[in-house]
């Protein structure tokens, strides 16, 4: 899951992100199956892990809905880059952005 999400983050457009995030959602379902199987085979109790997986699933679905929503635009400078790297670059150059939803930065 984590590798799919990281790969999706690096993609530049919504069209490129969609299949990768779909793969991450598939990985959630695979994990859910393996937890059920482990429980059924008596390998141990999995309710705590199942609750954590449900939380991961909710977060991933919210992230995917946000990124793929009509009209959602990735701010200039953020496409395929860590927000931390962008904000660090802005700090070093003395720029500040009015908001993450706009591509307007000021010196």
pLDDT tens, residue by residue, 20-74: 888 999 999 999 999 999 999 999 999 999 999 999 999 999 988 888 888 777 6
Q: How confident is the model at residue 11 (pLDDT cuts 50, 70, 90)?
A: confident
pLDDT of residue 56: 93
Distance CA 46, CA 93 (A): 50
Helices 14-40, 47-68: axis angle to 10 degrees equals 170
Residue whose C-alpha is closest to residue 6's, from 15, 90, 17: 17
Q: What is the pLDDT of residue 32?
A: 96
Residue 5 · residue 24 · CB < 8 Å: yes
Any idea which residue has 């660090």 for tokens?
A: 88
What per-residue confidence (pLDDT) applies to 103? 44
pTM score over 0.85: no
End-to-end Cα separation, the chain, in angstroms: 39
């Amino acid at each position: 899951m984590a590798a799919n999400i990281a790969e999706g983050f690096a993609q530049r457009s919504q069209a490129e992100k969609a299949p990768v995030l779909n793969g991450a959602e598939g990985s959630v379902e695979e994990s859910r199956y393996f937890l059920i199987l482990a429980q059924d085979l008596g390998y141990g109790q999995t309710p705590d892990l199942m609750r954590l997986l449900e939380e991961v699933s909710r977060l991933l679905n919210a992230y995917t809905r946000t990124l793929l929503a009509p009209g959602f635009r990735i701010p200039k400078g953020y496409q395929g880059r860590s927000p931390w790297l962008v904000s660090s670059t802005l700090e070093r150059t003395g720029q500040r952005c009015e908001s993450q939803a706009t591509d307007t930065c000021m010196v």
